[in-house]
Chains A and B, each alone.
Chain A
Amino acid sequence: NAGVTQTPKFQVLKTGQSMTLQCAQDMNHEYMSWYRQDPGMGLRLIHYSVGAGITDQGEVPNGYNVSRSTTEDFPLRLLSAAPSQTSVYFCASRIRNLGTTGELFFGEGSRLTVL
């Protein structure tokens, strides 16, 4: 199993450009989420989805859009990149009910630099 696959691993954008970070999982997980990781801060939730067709905002959603048309894919879109969006982005997935033992699986990350 590939688990959670993110592409691209590295990306450099200019301010105002748009792009999409791709995330795919092959574990048939209902729940998928996007986090950003910045130096000196814990992982922060951007958007999440509890199933195909259902998305919701996390802690830091501004400047990002998501959609969930299939169980497997959960792309993150930056419509007009800003330097404040320079970060490492992680996609994660799990079964819907995390409960007391449910495992959260992370991708390898996408490092984005906005100039």
Chain B
Amino acid sequence: KNQVEQSPQSLIILEGKNCTLQCNYTVSPFSNLRWYKQDTGRGPVSLTIMTFSENTKSNGRYTATLDADTKQSSLHITASQLSDSASYICVVKVVGGGADGLTFGKGTHLIIQP
């Protein structure tokens, strides 16, 4: 069964600090991996999309890495800001696949404290 596991479940850091969120997946055959940011009470918004051949992708202070061999991805947030407080969801897409072919992780709830 396709699965996406995220860690930690929740994280509290001080403003200005860096942090790294983890995503492990067993989805096969792999097509791409996406990270979404979901603010409280809002819908998810895409941060990055990574394909099999991409190891690193940045979006401002967000940097995602992908190791397709070990089936792991990470999202690194640099110089955190209060607005980074949100849930971060890892989503993996299979090649083809029924319906939308997407498997969603449960998310990491990140709190930035001043």
Contacts and interface: CB of A to CB of B under 8 A. Distances in A.
Q: Is the interface of A mostly helix, strand, loop or mixed?
A: loop
Given A42-B107, A100-B31, A100-B32, A107 B43 contact: yes
A42 B43 contact: no
Nearest to A103: B46
B93 A42 contact: no
Interface string A44-83: 1100100000001011000000000000000000000000
Contacts, number: 55
Given A100-B31, A100-B51, A101-B49, A42 B44 contact: no
A98 B45 contact: no
Contacts of A90: 43-44
Contacts of B104: 42-44
Contacts of B49: 100-101, 103
Interface residues of B, number: 23
A108 interface: yes
Interface of B: 4, 31-32, 34, 41-46, 49, 51, 89, 93, 99-107
A90 B91 CA distance: 15
The 3 closest A-B pairs by CB, nearest first: A106-B43, A42-B104, A43-B104
Interface string A86-115: 000010100000101101101111000000
Contact of B43 (A33, A103, A108): A108
A101 B93 CA distance: 11
